Structure 1
């Protein structure tokens, strides 16, 4: 069948395009056909819609009732970057900033001092968290969308580089929390309780990520209902455990910077959880009705 591709940008010289494609073709095949005629627009840059409905990869054109002679709208999403690369860039910032502030205290704060036990434990907790995130990005996660607009990498990285990197490191490792200071003193029971809760939440978060990974065969965008640890209570237990991770850091450090990062992160994760929860319930008619979005028994 023959399909016309119209650009939503009125000043495009490459469109409209006329594409000849089999009647049983998939959206992926159509994107490849467009790419062959307009090589600037590789598939990840393309957003195709019919009557404002997005044509999702992995589905056939028939599923969207597209027939011979129909017109499809095209939008250029701009230069793209892989989600895996974005995540690696995001988490790399704190991995660099925290050792700088922890080990070069005389250069940054203008004086030598001994770190308190709280500062040392907090340092290893935070470093372990972000190293874990890098390892998960490289070896665990399977992404439903391969790329995102390149310009978004700066916005996404700011959250981690500035809030959990520069800002958090500066305030946690400063001389006001040093050994012998009142602000840096913590009871041993509090330190080790926070460290224990942190470790449990980290392992739990990793386990939920493995469950999600195993739902999607390599190279596919398959979506299934997740079950098991955490998922029997909420749609996004990974976000819930991530919140517990940072709550333990907040209680340990008593740092306003840590609470700020948690507040911003929790708000974003909760919005994502609500969106995913609604998507699950819309896509799967047998989705468990007793699950909450992110916080067990609450929301």
Structure 2
């Protein structure tokens, strides 16, 4: 079959893009990724900053090697809109920054900043209890694992996000998992400061934490292996936990945090973080379930529970 060249009408959406061509000739057999690259080269706008949508229905044109211009439904004289999304930051960098705060804050609050934070308490301040040291260690281990996964395990479906969102994205972890938990758990009058903690809570919490972290890491490796390096293609996940819920990685994550909650002697600040994070993960999990159903059709076994087996 002869290759057909089509002419697309190109219009900016939002602020003007310097050197953006008004028309573009491209093969109907060209990939949508090539369309992005050609427009990027012509306009000088980074391919990561551009969002291309169809004029007919305003749907986003994917940047895919396996989808052609013709597959998308673009014909001769079709209109496409190009939007400059502004400065971008790599998702890997985003996660490294997000987790860096709660990785460092607990030790800072427990040691060098302790006299400044708890200046209203009688001096000299008592030394941190064994339970406070243990909670600090668990928090550090958790976020070291997160940083490891970000650098060596995760493969991202999107390369970048708007740089202006970094503060908003980081606030959840820096504020709720960092400042909030560290301040309240490490107070000299918190339950975790007691010399006689509830030992049953400590051992049960440690068991939950260890199981949750190992199972969560395993789930992340399963998800990693569904996507070939350098691609955004996905497969149907299977393995430990995936037959029961859509996102067992979220379930195991919550178990690990409930373990920290128990070890902290039921400190409300940890439970607050678990509750807020759990709501967000529940929303993400339902979106992923809907995407799996749409993307894989009858090949995918629908789940009624997306995080908690038998519940939600």
1:251 match? 262
Q: Deviations over 1:188-207 (max 9, x none)?
A: 22202101110100000000
Shift of 1:11: 5.0
What residue is the counterpart of 2:208 in the other structure?
197
In the other structure, the counterpart of 1:217 is 228
Q: Determine the C-alpha separation between the residues in 2 that align with 1:79 and 1:12.
A: 13
Structure 1 position 185, deviation (Å): 3.9
- The correspondence of residues 132-143 of structure 1 with structure 2, limited to 5 A, is 132-143=145-156
Q: For each residue in 1:248-270, what CA deviation from the matched residue of structure 2 results, as whole angstroms up to 9, or x when unmatched?
A: 22232222221211111111111
Find out whether 1:186 has 2:197 as its counterpart: yes
Is the partner of 1:119 in helix, strand or coil?
Answer: helix
Q: Is the CA contact 1:119–1:177 (under 8 Å) kept in the aligned structure 2?
A: no
Q: 1:153 aligned to 2:153?
A: no
Q: Which residue of 1 aligns with 2:9?
A: 4
Structure 1 residue aligned with 2:238:
227
Give yes or no for the alignment of 1:106 onto 2:119: no
How far apart are 1:23 and its partner, in Å? 1.8
- Length-normalised TM-score, structure 1: 0.94
Q: CA deviation at 1:12?
A: 5.1
Tell me, yes or no, if the aligned pair for 1:225 and 1:287 is still in contact at 8 Å.
yes
Q: Give the Cα–Cα distance (whole angstroms) in 1 for the partners of residues 192 and 236 of structure 2.
A: 49
Structure 2 equivalent of residue 70 of structure 1: 78
Cα distance in 2 between the residues matched to 1:178 and 1:267: 27
Per the alignment, residue 57 of structure 1 pairs with: 63
SS at match of 1:86: helix
Residues 234 and 180 (structure 1), Cα distance of their counterparts in 2 relative to 1, 3 Å cut: closer
Structure 1 regions of 5+ residues with no counterpart?
Answer: none
> Would the alpha carbon gap of residues 185 and 156 (structure 1) be closer, same or farther in structure 2, given more than 3 Å must change?
farther
CA–CA separation in structure 2 for the residues paired with 1:17 and 1:35: 13
Q: State the match for 2:26 in structure 1.
A: 21
Aligned length: 296
Q: Alignment partner for residue 137 of structure 2, among 114, 121, 124? A: 124
Q: Is the 8 A contact 1:177 1:185 kept in 2?
A: no
Displacement after TM superposition at 1:178 (Å): 7.4
Distance 1:159 1:25, change over 3 A: same
Contact 1:119 1:178 (C-alpha < 8 Å) held by counterparts: no
1:271 aligns with: 283
Unaligned runs of 5+ in 2: 1-5
Q: How far apart are 1:242 and its partner, in Å?
A: 1.0
Separation of aligned partners in 2, 1:90 and 1:171? 21
Q: Does 1:207 align with 2:212?
A: no
- 8 Å contact from structure 1 (residues 45, 76) kept in 2: yes
Give the Å deviation of 1:168: 1.0
For the structure 1 residues 180 and 45, does the alpha-carbon distance in structure 2 shift closer, same or farther, using more than 3 Å as the test? Answer: closer
Distance (whole Å) between structure 1 residues aligned to residue 192 and residue 227 of structure 2: 48
Farther-moved stretch of structure 1 (185-194 vs 209-218):
185-194
Counterpart-to-counterpart distance in 2, 1:8 and 1:44: 16
Which of 171, 175, 181 does residue 168 from structure 1 map onto? Answer: 181
Q: RMSD of the TM alignment (CA)?
A: 1.7
